[in-house]
Structure 1
């Protein structure tokens, strides 16, 4: 009995790495890319504007922090339920409706004199609508980009997102000082309208992934079915846990301000140190995503995933020795580079989830991501009150490396089992 081997040309096709140029040449991807980047830039500006606005009105740090916390809560609560809309209805239509409704809500926020409770409610619903929008966009992207183009496109979008976040936070304060928080919120509303226009022009219509015939299941039924799909499959469950590992290595960003105060030596102001710390991991993420997507083969990415996951947390342990700023910055940049493993985990997840259920699956994962980050930052902040930021960041690194090592072993074992199963099932030649 001989096993049938893949033809050499087919193996080369599977290992062929897509270029950024061929991805950018695809019109629909450009539309999603431009729209997402424009909307994200407006959101970063709005976050700064909202913080300034709330603090000016209330003079309360607690109220300001509470409004910021509202940016996590809706995704955690509404993500698993509303993400199913991306499978139930046409995904382009879901994105358009979300953009238009968010534009209207943010426009109301931009009106002077809106009561504080109403402002909080508007923030909640604006963020809530990001769940079906993100799920629809994530589910639509694999239909536009096939094979390794999906990884290249995801890397390009990831790098753009990180760059936009750095630009938005860096320039947000200066812009708000010039135009005021209300005009900044009005600008954010305009970015949602611009995003909707780009989608209408650049993305073609597609039918709903679930089909138009027969009775549609309820949202609760779709949520339960999505949970069974994601957590009932060993490989999918492992990939989801890889994604949620970010709760450990994102934690230091939530402690950047108190950590900066500890690192202050009189040379650089504390706000500047805080900005450098918050920019370090996004910078590493950009570098890692570029190298990982451009110079590592598709199969190599899967082999390296566990090692890079451990690298995303390992450098954080050095903070236990209370090193100077330069060493901390290098460690956090390296941690960001390790976070590039998320590209491989995301691509493997997409390949394993049926196209008609991707929206719900992505929504569940996104809700878990938000929960992992929010809980991680909250727990880290509480611990830092007693222990200080340095040991808390180091402890997050130790816990993250331990979890990553366990997941790496499970992933390697499941891949070997899958390879053996495929080999045994090959037809005789």
Structure 2
């Protein structure tokens, strides 16, 4: 059994994860850019509001970072599989640096600011996909799972810190916050360039084709492979529920305490509860539980994510609402890193960036759809009733998906098959007279591995 499929008796330690020099570079660069991005979000929304006095335009500035994922996320992430991952990450950082610096100059009209912001965020999907695809090359086995948990918790911590610090700096000078964000991209590019070694891109099994066809192949890989499809659907459905308190926090706080300083404090409490729970859950589950136990808890955590929010139907006070949201965050933290680790390990290397793009796009779409749907319902019914009944429906949905979750040996077989295909694709074809050695490109294999046959469609 390969290292990737063997499940050790004890969880990997943080020391073992950070002992990998290249991973330390990727982690540091990622936290830098995440923090800078949230600084910029807080700053640019205030900057746009100050210039336009329009709440709608300010909200549009905040939402701009989601547009690349919705409009072309999978297509953009396919680019990350065409080039070395290190190169993609560095180029994306260097593209974003001058764009954010230009926004900070000042004196630009709001439409120009929004256009520059959109151009900068176009680099997010390929950069994130390249990072996700690189991690399995740096770490294997349970060290990868612990690293993914660390990344998820660090992302939530960066969100909280970035919003708080960014809002504070933006009150003094939005331009300063934007310049700090630009600087983080420059520093990130240096860290990746000097801290991560070059690895050539691995071509797809059926060779390079049109960008749209390669993107379609990423969708086919995710939804045509039973275990990958099971992960995708479970994760997408989980995203329909945990995000709801954060998305409705402003209106919910108004229903709970009215207006004034109390409303602002209640809104902040609800908004940071789920990220705080995610951080706590990620550290406890990622480091405190044995690998086999973490995998066994995927289904219970999937059900707990919506179940934790069902008591909202009784209209509890703000502190209880925050606690419910925090428990949901803990459940998501117990679910996402483990399923993410299984997902990337069950992918042949040549598909990792674009398949992760499919997942990231799906997560963004489902979160946006959940907030939009519950927001529409909340115009007709009270927010506690909407959240409670929405979550109750989620419990039934997640129970159904949990019952159809593939057995552990199916994942082990899929991981072993993905490793074999990755090694085969990377094996050079021996040189012949007049023809140099080249990467092997086996014929396409559109069907899932035979070892996965029999898994129920999810």
| Common topology (TM > 0.5) | yes
1:61 aligns with 2:65: no
Task: Mark the CA change 1:52 to 1:302 in structure 2 (over 3 Å): closer, same or farther.
Answer: same
CA distance in 1 between counterparts of 2:139 and 2:409 reads: 28
3-state SS, counterpart of residue 308 of structure 2: helix
| Alpha-carbon contact 1:286-1:337 (below 8 Å) kept | yes
1:73 aligns with 2:80: no
Task: Mark the CA change 1:209 to 1:271 in structure 2 (over 3 Å): closer, same or farther.
Answer: same
CA shift at 1:15, angstroms?
3.3
| Alpha-carbon contact 1:249-1:396 (below 8 Å) kept | no
CA shift at 1:12, angstroms?
8.1
CA shift at 1:214, angstroms?
9.8
CA shift at 1:121, angstroms?
1.4
CA distance in 1 between counterparts of 2:99 and 2:226 reads: 41
1:163 aligns with 2:157: yes
| Alpha-carbon contact 1:135-1:363 (below 8 Å) kept | yes
CA shift at 1:288, angstroms?
1.2
1:132 aligns with 2:132: no
| Alpha-carbon contact 1:226-1:357 (below 8 Å) kept | yes
CA shift at 1:154, angstroms?
1.0
More displaced 10-residue stretch of structure 1: 303-312 or 155-164: 155-164
Q: Tell me what 1:227 maps to.
A: 219
Q: Tell me what 2:379 maps to.
A: 385
CA distance in 1 between counterparts of 2:166 and 2:331 reads: 28
Which structure is richer in relative contact order (CA contacts within 8 A, separation 6 or more)? 1
| Alpha-carbon contact 1:242-1:342 (below 8 Å) kept | no
Can you give the 5+ residue segments of structure 2 that lack an aligned partner in the other structure?
A: 417-449, 452-458
RMSD, aligned CA: 2.6
| Alpha-carbon contact 1:45-1:169 (below 8 Å) kept | yes
Q: Tell me what 2:276 maps to.
A: 283
1:409 aligns with 2:403: yes
Counterpart of 1:371 (choices 359, 365, 372) is: 365
Task: Mark the CA change 1:10 to 1:334 in structure 2 (over 3 Å): closer, same or farther.
Answer: closer
3-state SS, counterpart of residue 70 of structure 1: helix
1:184 aligns with 2:177: yes
Counterpart of 1:315 (choices 299, 308, 319) is: 308
Counterpart of 1:151 (choices 135, 145, 154) is: 145
Q: Tell me what 1:238 maps to.
A: 230
The Cα offsets for residues 367-414 of structure 1, whole Å up to 9 and x where unpaired, read as 1111111121122222222213212221331232222111111115x5
The Cα offsets for residues 68-108 of structure 1, whole Å up to 9 and x where unpaired, read as 22221211222110111121110100011100001111111
3-state SS, counterpart of residue 305 of structure 2: helix
CA distance in 1 between counterparts of 2:36 and 2:179 reads: 9
| Alpha-carbon contact 2:136-2:144 (below 8 Å) kept | yes
CA shift at 1:209, angstroms?
2.0
CA distance in 2 between counterparts of 1:420 and 1:133 reads: 30
| Alpha-carbon contact 2:78-2:126 (below 8 Å) kept | yes
| Alpha-carbon contact 1:280-1:333 (below 8 Å) kept | yes
| Alpha-carbon contact 1:49-1:176 (below 8 Å) kept | yes
Q: How many residues align?
A: 415
CA distance in 1 between counterparts of 2:206 and 2:60 reads: 44
CA shift at 1:266, angstroms?
8.9
CA distance in 2 between counterparts of 1:311 and 1:126 reads: 37
| Alpha-carbon contact 2:305-2:327 (below 8 Å) kept | yes
TM-score under structure 1 length normalisation:
0.91
The Cα offsets for residues 328-381 of structure 1, whole Å up to 9 and x where unpaired, read as 122111111111211111111112111111001000110111111112112222
Q: Tell me what 1:331 maps to.
A: 324
More helix by share: 1
Q: Tell me what 1:28 maps to.
A: 22
Q: Tell me what 2:187 maps to.
A: 194
| Alpha-carbon contact 1:82-1:219 (below 8 Å) kept | no
More displaced 10-residue stretch of structure 1: 167-176 or 340-349: 167-176
CA shift at 1:247, angstroms?
2.5
CA distance in 2 between counterparts of 1:151 and 1:226 reads: 23
3-state SS, counterpart of residue 297 of structure 2: helix
The Cα offsets for residues 42-91 of structure 1, whole Å up to 9 and x where unpaired, read as 11111111111111111111111222222212112221101111211101
| Alpha-carbon contact 2:342-2:411 (below 8 Å) kept | no
CA distance in 2 between counterparts of 1:159 and 1:36 reads: 12
Task: Mark the CA change 1:332 to 1:366 in structure 2 (over 3 Å): closer, same or farther.
Answer: same
3-state SS, counterpart of residue 83 of structure 1: helix
1:42 aligns with 2:36: yes
The Cα offsets for residues 280-304 of structure 1, whole Å up to 9 and x where unpaired, read as 1111111211121122222222221
| Alpha-carbon contact 2:244-2:371 (below 8 Å) kept | yes
CA distance in 2 between counterparts of 1:419 and 1:220 reads: 31
Q: Tell me what 1:218 maps to.
A: 210
